[in-house]
Structure 1
Amino acid sequence: MNSVYKKWFAPFVLPAFILFGLVVLVPFIIGVLYSFSAWRGVYFAGGSNAFEAWVGFENYLRSFENENFRKAFIYTLKFTVMAVVAVNVVALAQALFLHGLGKMVGFFRATFFLPNLLGGLALGYIWLFIYENVFSKMLFGPNGSMPFDLLNNMTQDSGKNLIALLIMVTWQMSGYMMLIYITGLSNISDDLYEAADIDGANYWQKLRHVTFPMLMPSFTVVFFMVLSNCFKLLDPNVALTNGEFSTRMLALQILRVPKDTTNNYGMAQAQAVIFFIIIAVVSLTQVVITKRKEVEVQ
């Protein structure tokens, strides 16, 4: 069997590597090169190619000096921290609720997972309708049945919009993360819980000293996915506010750079490279930290 795998490994894997190189790797390298030039989208200012229009680190320096970029970074960081906590808490609570449930477990799994099938602009416009019509006009507005300012006009204020994004993302992502946690819970041996029962441990003690440590591999995966996806959030941000009211996140900020700077695509590409580095550093740091916890558990 191993000889069969070795024989067919290259023919099956090679097309994937070629596709990855052409679609991802080559454009990424070209983008990094263009970030050091005066690229204007369809031409280079001051030359006929990137090397003749070379500006060095000017685009990067101007990006850090750009107030919109700094605000978008801070706004994205705030949202990501809140989302990591909210999504993990809700997903873990759902997994603990469903773990060991009887005949209805399949129904609840499908129900909780269903929002993950929605995405992009469609998800954002659905929640925009909810926030603007259901929340602001019917429920929590001044003339609503339960006036509550925090949930009124949530897409017209930067602070309230953080909560709006948080509710939407948690509703969408928690069901998918729940499945990862359920898989982790299923892999925990019942012997560990029996030993804890013999020692007189209550539910919370078993949760802290048995469940959480044994779930560290699942925590690693979920934390990584939530971190990276929240940092890259774009479509819902466009649908809810389109960056108005100081609600622009990093992905949308990069998209708007050419419009803000008279087609300075070189700066936009520089911000995209910075964006990539931030996501890579944060995600890899998180993986390293949680991986160390896994080793301690073993």
Structure 2
Amino acid sequence: MTLDTDPYTAQTLVRRAVVRLRTTTAAPLTFGGIRTGDRIPITSVAGTRSPDLHTLTIREGRGLGGQTWIRHTPQFVDDYGTARTITHDYDRQILAEGISALAVAPVIVDDTLAGLIYVGTREPRPLSQKLLSALFREGIRTSTELAVHTRKSPTSSSADADSVELARLRRFYAEIRQLVSTSPDTSVGPRIRELLDSAFTPDSTITLTPRQLDVLALAALGHRNAAIADRLGLSPATVKSYLRAAMARLDAHSRHEAVGRARELGLIG
């Protein structure tokens, strides 16, 4: 992607956002960069302890930023080092900073990812709602400012601050399904499943089995087949089989399409 503005202007806007975010929230570490073709080099950093982040280049689908690249929505992990929902291509740079929790917001112009803005903390505790909301607002603000310079459309609504609560609810939904599926107590499991399913009103006659829903809910969080298998006490081959069956019922050609279709139909959170 090539922005219709000079690189200096785009980098300046991200730099201002990175500094402003750290100043207004007292966050330990903020950083970001503007997309250049098929990569996003991190060029703006505030609060760094080492030069390693300046060598970081994000690519689509890799790491937490790579997930945001694909989904165009904010993403976060409360324990980066042990997170199983992301790839760990950038552990050397991230862990060198002592980062515990990490979040990233997209900069979107004309429905295209233009850059990323991150915030990281070094304390072993979940990211606060206040900090996440501030980050996502910076993503929206920078998207709008960049759109003015490019004379294009600003960020899509998917980057709205409400994504914080939605992301947490989806994680909660998936983890409850996982607990019910793996619990040896069979007396309450069916009732909990019933309560979970009653929270959704499917918009079609398409139905999925409980196991297919369990697998899709975890896939929606970015878990790969091996991680889903580990969480549900299944083999990777069995997980793959459930995913294929769900994709067939949803007329989807990929796991990401299946998740989107299931959400559109009101089958999962």
TM-score grouping bracket, smaller chain normalisation: under 0.3
Higher strand share: 2
TM-score between both structures, scaled by the size of structure 2: 0.23
Structure possessing the higher relative contact order (Cα contacts under 8 Å, 6 or more residues apart): 1
TM-score between both structures, scaled by the size of structure 1: 0.22
Higher helix share: 1
Greater C-alpha radius of gyration:
1
